[in-house]
């Protein structure tokens, strides 16, 4: 089974969780491609532009990883998902990181937007994980829970 991880991370939190997940999946013997979206600055106050559109063709399972921005899914991940091919034959998993203490402060909405964009490409999300970065004491537990939940369903 080929797993593709597609990551958008501005300050490294999502990338940190994704790298931990990558290690866990590799330790379990999965074949995983780790793809970080390349972005560039656009106009001030506009979301970053994506400069590549990695193909998902070779993957059986795709794990989209992004952060939350202004109570929404980060703009670059939105733009990328709008441009992907049909993924109706694939298992899809979404992971987000966010800062604010309550899921209604952006996390829930970002996952809802991710699912809707994926549905437009025929995909159906089998599992989601939300890692709250804001609470330093609880952070490690959130990271571990997300990794366990995802590795259980890939």
Ligand X SMILES: Cc1cc2nc3c(=O)[nH]c(=O)nc-3n(C[C@H](O)[C@H](O)[C@H](O)COP(=O)(O)O)c2cc1C
CB of 79 to ligand X, least distance (A): 15
CB of 42 to ligand X, least distance (A): 14
Binding site for ligand X (CB under 6 A): 9-15, 67-71, 97-100, 105-107, 133
Distance, CA of 125 to CA of 131 (rounded, Å): 17
Distance, CA of 149 to CA of 18 (rounded, Å): 13
Residues 6+ apart with CB under 8 A from 124: 88, 92, 118
Pick the closer one to ligand X by CB: 2 or 36. 36
H or E element at residue 23: helix 13-27
Q: Which bin fits 63, alpha (ψ -120 to 50), beta or left (φ > 0)?
A: beta
DSSP state of 48: P
CB of 43 to ligand X, least distance (A): 15
CB of 132 to ligand X, least distance (A): 8
Do the Cβ atoms of 126 and 66 come closer than 8 Å?
no
The closest alpha carbon to 61, from 120, 131, 6, belongs to 6
Q: Which residue is nearest to ligand X (CB)?
A: 106
Pick the closer one to ligand X by CB: 67 or 90. 67
CB of 105 to ligand X, least distance (A): 5
């Amino acid at each position: 089974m080929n797993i593709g991880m597609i990551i958008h991370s501005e300050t490294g939190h999502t990338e940190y969780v994704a790298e931990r997940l990558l290690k866990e999946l590799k330790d379990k013997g999965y074949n995983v491609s780790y793809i970080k979206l390349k972005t560039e600055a656009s106009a001030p106050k506009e979301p970053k532009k994506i400069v590549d559109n990695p193909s998902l063709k070779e993957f059986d399972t795709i794990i989209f990883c992004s952060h939350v921005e202004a109570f929404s899914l980060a703009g670059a991940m939105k733009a990328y998902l709008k441009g992907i091919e049909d993924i109706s034959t694939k298992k899809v998993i979404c992971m987000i990181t966010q800062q604010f203490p309550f899921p209604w402060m952006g996390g829930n909405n970002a996952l809802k937007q991710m699912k809707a964009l994926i549905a437009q490409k025929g995909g159906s999300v089998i599992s989601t994980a939300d890692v709250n970065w804001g609470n330093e004491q609880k952070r490690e537990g959130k990271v571990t829970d997300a990794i366990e939940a995802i590795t259980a369903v890939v």
